[in-house]
Structure 1
């Protein structure tokens, strides 16, 4: 049962991460800013996502 739950949570986390990357890519920020946020989200998924939620989206 643990494998199924872990797999489901991993899938949910992947969907959330992809959603954040798409939101960054569609934002009106500059290209370098977008690239940095996407790299942060890819290399530091949990911490990067939390930082992005706190500092990234405006309005």
Structure 2
């Protein structure tokens, strides 16, 4: 059983976009995601998204 501590919202949105765009001959170059309540922050940066190695499933 996999337990989730943090939801990877960006991964979920990217997966949903891929379903719309397709992977081969669908010819849909872009997916626009509307309605996601993105929490804006003046202090957020990419460093806060980094997981420590002991929490990363893919290392």
Q: Which has the larger radius of gyration?
A: 2
The two structures have a TM-score, normalised by structure 2, of 0.33
The structure where helix makes up a greater share of residues is 1
Question: Which TM-score applies when normalising by structure 1?
Answer: 0.33
Higher relative contact order (CA 8 A, sep 6+): 1
